[in-house]
Amino acid sequence: MRAGMKISRIGEFELIERIKKKVEKRYPTSQNRRIIVGIGDDAAVIEPYGEKLLVATTDTMVESVHFSTEDADFEKIGYKAMVSSISDIIAMGGKPKYALISLALSKDSLIKDVDGLYEGILKCGKKFGVRIVGGDVVSSPRNAVVTLNLLGEVERGRVICRSGAKVGDGILVTGNFGDSAAGLEILKGRWKIPGKSDYIRKCKKNLIKKHLLPQPRVREAEIISGKRRATAMIDSSDGLDLSVRFLCQASKVGAKIWLEKIPLSPCLKYLISSKEALRALNFALYGGEDYELVFTVPGKKVEKVLREVPHTVAIGEIMPARWRIRYLDKKDREVKLKGRGYEHFL
């Protein structure tokens, strides 16, 4: 089977031709008049967005650091890479539109792996309205490296930066936190869960799926940016703790977060025994890759926004900068935590 060959058998240029055909087949450039020049030239050329602003982000994923083929097939890796970039664009209030993909692959990579990677990227792209318009394929001596560059558009009044939070704003989040990190621990066999009931099995599967195939909060982000009530927003790719820290740092404010208000999924709560309450909190605060939204709205508008945006809860309040980030228990007493978010170089 041809797809089982190593890419060194067909070479760079045939590989690019193959990718180009694959992309064109599923998303013909001719069907999108805004793509003037797509894959296959020195650069892509795109029709501008009229009055809208351009949003651009880049994300790099390195084999054995950000993904492992032991844990996921290439299709899942491609899908998740795209989710991560889409999440960055929507967290600015933007609409993701066009992607350029750089691949650094070892000579021993299989054609079917590249096919799988693109399959995942294209599936996720199709689902969320993103088209591949260009890229680069080069050789890497060892680990594969996938870089996604995503371009999008945003209306001027809809841009939401990390830097707009004000003292007194409520801190809101979509979805649940910690599922992705918990799923990875289960997948890696590092978290042994006693019990073998159907529900436990189902829950374990759910969490693993949250890790391998997370979903960006596209609809919620659109509502949040459309209503124009949010003062700041960030996506939670590095865990809730770091997301809040980044947002507060950019806004030059502090925050208080009530630990028991941090949303955990029913599955995570079910799998965590009462003795391990801290484990769930560690997943939620320091795990990352949940791709939920963390945003702030003026105190008076919190109730309204909670009704407008599905899957959203309030977890804290923006405080003066001298507060830094404080975690509180039910009785407003500070809880000192020792964990920290994912740091690439430490």
Choose between 38 and 280: whose C-beta lies nearer to its own copies: 38
Encoded one letter per residue, x for contact with its own copies by CB under 8 A and - for no contact, window 179-218 reads ----------------------------------------
For the chain, first and last CA: distance in Å?
Answer: 43
In angstroms, give the least distance from the CB of 279 to its own copies.
25
In angstroms, give the least distance from the CB of 63 to its own copies.
8
CB 284 within 8 A of CB 238: no
Residues 120, 125, 152, 175: which binds its own copies (CB under 8 A)?
152
CA-nearest of 153, 148, 143 to 69 is: 143
Residues 80, 95, 131, 162: which binds its own copies (CB under 8 A)?
162
**Residue found under tokens 């703790």:** 241
Distance of CA 154 to the CA centre of its chain: 19
CA distance 161 to 139: 36
Could you say which residues in the range 80-139 bind its own copies, by CB under 8 A?
A: 87-89, 91-92, 94, 98, 100-105, 107, 133-139
CA distance 259 to 1: 54
Could you say which residues in the range 29-88 bind its own copies, by CB under 8 A?
A: 36-37, 40-62, 64-66, 87-88
Part of the chain binding its own copies (CB under 8 A), chosen from 115-123, 140-148, 313-321, 324-332: 140-148
Q: 30-40: string of b/e by CB count within 10 Å (b at 16+)?
A: eebeebeebbe
- In sign, the C-alpha dihedral spanning 80, 85, 88, 92 is negative
CA distance 158 to 142: 42
In angstroms, give the least distance from the CB of 142 to its own copies.
6
In this structure, what token pair is assigned to residue 196?
A: 């073998």
Residues 167, 200, 250, 321: which binds its own copies (CB under 8 A)?
250
Residues 110, 145, 167, 200: which binds its own copies (CB under 8 A)?
145
Alpha-carbon distances of 125 from 96, 97, 153, 164, 292, rounded to whole Å? 9, 9, 15, 30, 18
In angstroms, give the least distance from the CB of 97 to its own copies.
10
In angstroms, give the least distance from the CB of 92 to its own copies.
5
Torsion angle, CA of 279/284/285/289, rounded to 10 degrees? 130
Residues 8, 110, 209, 321: which binds its own copies (CB under 8 A)?
8
Residues 23, 77, 212, 234: which binds its own copies (CB under 8 A)?
234
Choose between 8 and 227: whose C-beta lies nearer to its own copies: 8
Choose between 101 and 268: whose C-beta lies nearer to its own copies: 101
